Every structure is written in structure tokens, then in C-alpha cells.
Structure 1
């Protein structure tokens, strides 16, 4: 039980490293949460700060996910990797250090999923990128890609892995919940497209 709690705390702590907030403060003297969508993630960093800081944000947020899974595995084996993967995203989405106002977890989820099952992650990433390229809606690509996770967990993993399926279902649920405002804007036709600046 101690090991489980240790993985949760360490992973949540990693998730609390708010990359876009820190980079924005250091390089732009700006709190990203006060601009654009108010979201402390890579997509809003792109709109507010530009490509370089957005790319750095994405890479570091993804690496948080990779590291959490690795640490979880070292402490508790494969189950530890799953637990670490979930809690690093929880920490990113709801960081106590930023009064629980974080990002939407897509970059961290990509890092987590790629480390645990790169084949499934790659399919999700490709599908998401294609949708973004066609529609220019990052949110639509993200939501669609992450929604594929539990489906692919059932279709591609043999024998069926219940723990992995639940893990994918949790990640998908968190992502959809965090994108609920984007979903409303997509339905209403006023969602921001890729390339639009938000100051």
C-alpha cells in the first residue's frame, strides 16, 4: 500500500510542473492563465506565446508522462506504470500549486500512452494529427484521438487486459471532461482554429 501511495504522490507532483506557466513567466513575464483560453497547456501556449514555447511546453509535458510511468514501474511494476500514468495527468490537469487550474492533459497523456503501449499511442496520434490538419481544430483532433484509447485497448490487446482498459478509460474520461467547453464551442461553431492568436 505504501508503494501505491508513493507512486501516486510522486506522479502527481511531476504533473504539477506547469510547463507553460513556468516558461511564460520566465521568458514572457506573463501568466498564461490570464490570456487566451486561460488553459495552462501547449495549445494555449501556441496561441499566446508562439511556436517555440508551445513546442517546448509540449515536449516537457510529454516527458512528464514518460517519467511518471518509468518511476511507477520501478516502484510497483506494470501496475505502477498505469497508476503513475493516471496521476501525472491528474497533477497536470489539477495542480495544487496553481490552485487546481492546469492544462487539459493531452501532451502528458501522449507521453504516458507512448511509454505503455507505443503501437496504440501511434495510431491515436496519427488519427489526431490527420483531423487537426483537415479541420484546423486541435480540440477535435485531441478528443477523437484520446477517445480511441479504450477502443483500441479492446481491439488490439490480446489477451484482454482489464487493468489497461480501465487505465485507458480513465485517461479518456479525464480528457473529455477537460475539453467539455471545447465540445460546446465545436457544437456551436465558434471554436478557435489552429493558427489563431489569442492575446
Structure 2
């Protein structure tokens, strides 16, 4: 059962809502535009706030549902952690879309909500505060990711070491996925929140 749930989590993560939205509405591959990511931030740049928020919520639900299924069907914290990793991996490297997906932030937040809601709330406050001050979503994502292991250490009781290892892995993965964004911030070419990219429809 545990292996089935982990496999299901990866396949669920592989459903790229961002790719599907832009393909349907614009007839183009979002991975060829903007940052090249299928995540909500790139969707906002191309389709606007409404579709971007919708994709963010759908991606987060993938993460939450994977952990919820693991909790409900097994109650095993190790299966829950593995399912969280699998759904984020599916989002980042989707089986159905040539293993090229997003950065995994929304999906990670959804999975973390299923595991430790208090940590996720604090994480969201930190991330959104940084975005509000800097106007860079990528910077808020990185600062939040770096904060994750410390928040788990202070606020999660029981299974501390496995959860801490998981949080550290998720943190390093998020930072690694955002290296191109950090380079663009340093070069002054990273798009700020609210900036739009014009994409000609091929439909």
C-alpha cells in the first residue's frame, strides 16, 4: 500500500496544471517563455493573476492530497514523508511532460500543510513578507525554503530527525531549483511580481 501511494503521489505531481492552462488558453508551451517554469509565478507573467492563483492552488492541492492519502491509508510518517517527496518530484520532473516542470514551491507548501500546518503558516508569512518587500517571488521562495529546517526543529514534536532530514532536503531542492532566478536577481534581469510577458497565441 505504501509503495502504491508513493507511486500515485509522483503521478499526481506529474499533472502540470500550468502547462495545460497556457497550452489551452494560448496554444504555446509555457516552458519556452518567461522563466521556463510551469509554476504559478510564470503563469501570472503570461496569463495574469487569476490563472496564476488558480494554478498555485491546484499545485498546492496535489501536495496536500498526497500527504492526506498517506496519512489516511497508512498512518505511517515515513510513507507520508516519501509521498511528499514524490509529489514534489513529480511536479518538478513530470512523467507526462518530458520531465520538465516547475520549481515545486506551491506543491511543497501543500504537502507541508498536510504534515505540519503551523510550520506552513509561519513559512507562508515569511515568504510573502519577503515578496512584499523585494517584489521578487523567487527570493521569497528561497528565504522561506532556507527557514524550513529551523521551523521544523522548533515547532514539530515527534519524529524530529526524519522530519528534519525531509525539511532540509526540501529546502536544498528548492534553493537549487531557484539558482537561475538568483542569478537573474544579481544581474538585475529577474521579473518582479506583477510584470507581464506578452506571448502571441498560436491557437
Match of 1:90 in 2: 89
Task: Show the 5 A alignment for 1:176-187.
Answer: 176-187=175-186
Q: Distance in 1 between matches of 2:28 and 2:47?
A: 9
Quote the offset at 1:30 in angstroms.
2.5
Listed one character per residue, the Cα deviations across residues 104-125 of structure 1 (whole Å, up to 9, x for unaligned) are 0010011111111111111110
Instruction: Considering Cα pairs closer than 8 Å and 6+ residues apart, tell me whether 1 or 2 has the greater RCO.
Output: 2
Out of 3, 11, 14, the position equivalent to 1:13 is 11
Quote the offset at 1:155 in angstroms.
1.9
Partner of 2:74, secondary structure, is helix
Match of 2:173 in 1: 174
Q: Is the 8 A contact 2:31 2:38 kept in 1?
A: yes
Q: Distance in 1 between matches of 2:138 and 2:33?
A: 18
Q: Is the 8 A contact 2:116 2:156 kept in 1?
A: no
Match of 1:42 in 2: 40
Structure 1: where are the runs of 5+ without partners? Answer: none
Match of 1:108 in 2: 107
Match of 1:193 in 2: 192
Structure 2 residue 23 is matched with structure 1 residue 33: no
Q: Distance in 2 between matches of 1:188 and 1:25?
A: 30
Structure 2 residue 80 is matched with structure 1 residue 75: no
Listed one character per residue, the Cα deviations across residues 175-199 of structure 1 (whole Å, up to 9, x for unaligned) are 1111010111222332211111123
Quote the offset at 1:144 in angstroms.
0.5
Mark the CA change 1:30 to 1:76 in structure 2 (over 3 Å): closer, same or farther: same
Quote the offset at 1:159 in angstroms.
4.9
Q: Distance in 2 between matches of 1:183 and 1:75?
A: 39
**TM-score, length of structure 2 as denominator length:** 0.92
**TM-score, length of structure 1 as denominator length:** 0.93
Q: Distance in 2 between matches of 1:73 and 1:45?
A: 31
Partner of 1:152, secondary structure, is helix
Q: Distance in 2 between matches of 1:27 and 1:4?
A: 37
Structure 2: where are the runs of 5+ without partners? Answer: 199-203
Q: Post-superposition, which runs of at least 4 consecutive aligned residues in structure 1 deviate over 6 A?
A: none
Q: Distance in 1 between matches of 2:12 and 2:157?
A: 31
Aligned residue-pair number: 197
Partner of 2:190, secondary structure, is coil
Partner of 2:172, secondary structure, is helix
